[in-house]
Each structure stands twice: as structure tokens, then as C-alpha cells.
């Protein structure tokens, strides 16, 4: 949000809707600025995103914002940043209230560590695609997926969890400079296009978008994670657009030879020029990732829902006093939805043996709980 320092100072210390006390600004970008705030009644921190006022210049835009914000609030997925509230201040600042997360964006990780090892890249992408799949199921197309919209959180008890940001918000943009990606978010023929390095060919043409447009963006992000570079670059958005529309991407294995052929194949499938030649939606893409991980002998944890109390009680260990004993930290690690993947090395050493199917990927969450508790 391009407001003056004075205006931003005025935001800090304000209380919104008599319940959100703004503490300080966390970041700023093309869509607006994000502030740390505190929910006064619940005494917990939240993040508040103030959208740039130019995004909502007329009544039609504000009605569209309310519709998109309600859709974002309804989207509940462990890999999507939760939007819990939205509103507008008396002086016209429109805002979204979100869960406060700590951790680097994928863009920050790539700047320090790219290229990323194959198993880790697939782990991150499986989580991101799971969030996008939930959005597609709810009828939401993200339209602006990119590394700076993917956050990787970490806590002591749980493996790294990926969170996708800005569902339903990108559609509101008219024209903004995105400092995080060094590119311009464009609008053509009344429809948002996105950020040039990650846009599907049909977005440049202003065509009606389908979930396959998000799949293309996910493919580009995975390509960049694996190779350390975007498939198409240029000195201007127009030059980048022409390459996305017409040029085939350089095969990832020509850049990093260690990338498995099957992984290269699924990346290029996601980046097909015609939407009908790609996976139709993020759920199909995620299934391809999962099948590839299994085919390559990668150990993975599929996303599952937590069992109800009755089911978990049946799988617990009863102590001599009759109490149910469950190792909560270890159960939480399995149910975190991290899709953490690691290579299962094929060899004769017992430490690198291929695990028996009964031990790996046995399907249900309860099977995993059984393994934790030693009841197979």
C-alpha cells in the first residue's frame, strides 16, 4: 500500500471494529500492507492486510471484494492461510484479518538455497497443491500463485508446513508493482492476469480461466525450485509473455542432471501451453506428484484428517490404571499434513533398505497411530 509514512503511523495504534489493535507493520507489496495486530477479546495475535485503496476505487469493486472475502473466509484447509474476518475503516481502508504466521516465504528460501533437492521440492509442492485443490473444489481460482505467496512455517513439535496466501484477493487487483517478484501484476481486458514469470499462456490472452491456469503456475514454481531459475525471463513483461505463449521451456534435466526423469515429465506436463493438455486442476496435479513419489521410492505422508476421539481411543494404549496413553507430539507430527518426503535409499544395508509396504504408506491415519503406539 503506497501510503505516506504519516498515514501508516496513523494506522499503528488504531483499533478496528473495537477488537483489533494494530501493533506494527510487517510487510508491504503491490496488493497492500500487512500489519501485526492483536484480537483484544481473545488476546491473540493476528495479521491484518490493508488492501491498496486503488484496488477498490468504485462501488462495484467493493461489492466484488465482499464476495471474494466471504469465499476466502469459507476456505478452510491446513495448507491455506486462514482468513477469519474482513471489514472497512471509516476513512475507507479495506482490510482482511488472517492467522499470523512466522516463517520464510518460498521466495526467500529460493534466494538462499536454490536449487532445492528433489524430495524437498516435491514435499513443498504437494502441500501447496493440496491447498490450491481445496480452493478449486470451492470454485476459487487463485490466479497469482508465486513463491512470495507461499509461506513455510516451522515449530518445534511439527515438521515444516506450507501455507498458501491470498486466495480470492488477487482477482481484485487492477495494476500494481509487486516488489517481491520484481514484476508487474497486470490487468487486461477487465481481467486480472497475474505476475508474468508465473502466468499461464491463457492469462495473457484474457481468456476465461480454468483451474488449469493455477496448475501451470504450480508447474513453473516447481521448475524454479528444482533448477534454481524461472523457465522464462525477459527485460519486459511483454517479452516474458511471448515466451510463455510460444516457447517451450528448457527441460529441467539439462539444467540439473540429477532431477529424475519422472519428475521432469510431470513438471513439463503441468506447463503445457494448452489448458486441456495439463492436469485439469490442482487435485489431479497433486495425485501425479504422489504417484511419482511412490514410483521413485520416496517415503511420504499423505494429507489425512484427524480421527475422531472414539476412533483414537480404540487405538490407544491402556495403562495399568485404565487411562488411555497417547504420545500427542508424535501423533501431531504425523497428522500435521506436512507431506514431508524423504528418499528411501535402495541398498543392502539395513539402514537404507526399502521399507515394507506395511510400514510405509499403509494408507489411513489410524494405521500410522497404530505404528506409533506399537499396535500393528
Of 166 and 303, which is predicted with more confidence? 166
As a whole number, the mean pLDDT across the chain is 77
The architecture (CATH level 2) of 106-296 comes to Orthogonal Bundle (1.10)
In the chain, which residue ranges form alpha helices assigned H by DSSP?
Answer: 5-11, 59-74, 106-113, 118-137, 201-204, 211-227, 237-246, 261-270, 282-295, 309-314, 328-335, 365-373
Tell whether the model's pLDDT for residue 37 goes beyond 80.
yes
d(CA 105, CA 307): 31
Residues with a catalytic annotation lie at: 144
Cα 285 to Cα 219: distance, rounded to the nearest angstrom: 9
Given a cut of 80, whether residue 127 has pLDDT beyond it is yes
The pLDDT-based confidence of 326 (bands split at 50, 70, 90) is low
Q: What is the pLDDT of residue 168?
A: 60
User: 211-227 and 106-113 helices cross at what angle (nearest 10)?
Assistant: 30
Pick from 58-62, 154-158, 196-200: least confident:
154-158
Nearest to 119 by CA among 359, 294, 269: 294
pLDDT at residue 331 above 90?
no
pLDDT at 14 > cutoff 50: yes
Strand partners, 86: 96
DSSP 8-state secondary structure symbol assigned to residue 114: P
C-alpha cell recorded at residue 363? 494408507
Which candidate, 318, 368, 337, places its Cα nearest to that of 130? 337
Q: How far apart are CA 227 and CA 231, in angstroms?
A: 9
Q: Quick one: average pLDDT of 235-262?
A: 95
pLDDT band with cut points at 50, 70 and 90 for residue 186: very low
* Confidence category of residue 323, pLDDT binned at 50, 70, 90: low
% of residues, the chain, pLDDT over 70: 66
Contact between 376 and 358 under an 8 Å Cβ cutoff? The reply is yes
Residues sharing a CB contact under 8 Å with residue 168, sequence separation 6 or more, in sequence order = 68, 69, 71, 72, 75, 83, 140
pLDDT digits (tens, 9 = 90+) for 81-91: 988 998 888 87
SS3 label, residue 6: helix
The predicted structure's pLDDT at residue 53: 72
Structure pTM?
A: 0.73
Query: Domain map of the chain by residue range?
Result: 5-99, 106-296, 309-373
Helices within 90-160 (DSSP H only): 106-113, 118-137
Q: Specify the CATH architecture of the domain 5-99.
A: 2-Layer Sandwich (3.30)
pLDDT at 160: 79
Q: What share of the chain is helix, strand, coil (3-state, %, to 5)?
A: 40, 20, 40
DSSP 3-state assignment of 225? helix
pLDDT higher than threshold 90 for residue 44: yes
> Who has greater pLDDT, 254 or 158?
254
Amino acid at each position: 500500500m503506497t501510503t505516506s509514512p504519516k498515514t501508516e503511523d496513523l494506522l499503528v495504534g488504531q483499533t478496528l471494529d473495537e477488537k483489533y489493535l494494530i501493533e506494527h507493520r510487517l510487510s508491504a507489496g503491490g496488493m497492500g500492507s500487512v500489519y501485526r495486530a492483536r484480537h483484544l477479546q481473545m488476546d491473540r495475535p493476528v495479521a491484518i492486510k490493508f488492501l491498496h485503496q486503488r484496488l477498490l476505487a468504485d462501488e462495484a469493486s467493493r461489492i466484488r471484494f465482499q464476495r471474494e472475502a466471504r469465499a476466502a473466509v469459507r476456505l478452510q484447509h491446513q495448507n491455506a492461510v486462514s482468513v477469519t474476518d474482513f471489514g472497512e475503516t471509516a476513512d475507507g481502508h479495506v482490510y482482511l484479518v488472517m492467522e499470523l504466521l512466522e516463517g520464510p516465504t518460498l521466495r526467500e528460501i529460493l534466494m538462499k538455497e536454490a536449487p532445492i533437492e528433489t524430495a524437498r521440492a516435491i514435499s513443498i509442492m504437494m502441500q501447496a497443491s493440496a491447498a490450491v485443490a481445496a480452493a478449486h473444489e470451492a470454485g476459487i481460482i487463485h490466479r497469482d500463485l508465486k513463491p512470495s505467496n507461499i509461506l513455510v512455517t516451522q515449530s518445534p513439535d511439527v515438521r515444516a508446513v506450507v501455507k498458501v496466501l491470498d486466495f480470492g484477493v488477487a482477482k481484485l487487483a487492477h495494476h500494481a508493482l509487486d516488489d517481491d517478484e520484481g514484476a508487474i501484476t497486470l490487468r487486461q481486458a477487465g481481467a486480472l492476469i497475474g505476475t508474468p514469470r508465473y502466468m499461464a499462456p491463457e492469462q495473457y490472452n484474457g481468456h476465461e480461466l480454468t483451474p488449469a491456469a493455477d496448475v501451470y503456475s504450480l508447474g513453473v514454481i516447481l521448475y524454479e525450485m528444482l533448477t534454481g531459475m524461472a523457465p522464462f525471463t525477459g527485460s519486459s513483461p511483454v517479452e516474458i509473455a511471448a515466451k510463455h505463449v510460444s516457447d517451450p521451456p528448457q527441460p529441467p534435466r539439462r539444467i540439473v542432471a540429477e532431477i529424475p526423469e519422472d519428475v521432469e515429465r510431470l513438471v513439463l506436463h503441468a506447463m503445457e501451453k494448452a489448458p486441456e493438455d495439463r492436469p485439469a486442476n490442482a487435485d489431479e496435479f497433486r495425485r501425479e506428484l504422489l504417484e511419482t513419489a511412490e514410483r521413485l521410492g520416496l517415503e511420504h505422508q499423505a494429507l489425512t484428517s484427524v480421527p475422531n476421539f472414539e476412533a483414537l481411543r480404540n487405538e490407544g494404549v491402556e495403562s495399568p490404571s485404565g487411562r488411555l496413553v497417547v504420545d500427542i507430539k508424535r501423533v501431531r507430527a504425523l497428522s500435521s499434513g506436512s507431506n514431508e518426503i524423504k528418499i528411501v535409499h535402495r541398498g543392502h544395508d539395513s539402514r537404507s533398505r526399502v521399507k515394507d509396504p506395511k510400514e510405509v504408506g499403509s494408507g489411513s491415519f489410524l494405521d500410522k497411530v497404530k505404528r506409533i503406539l506399537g499396535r500393528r
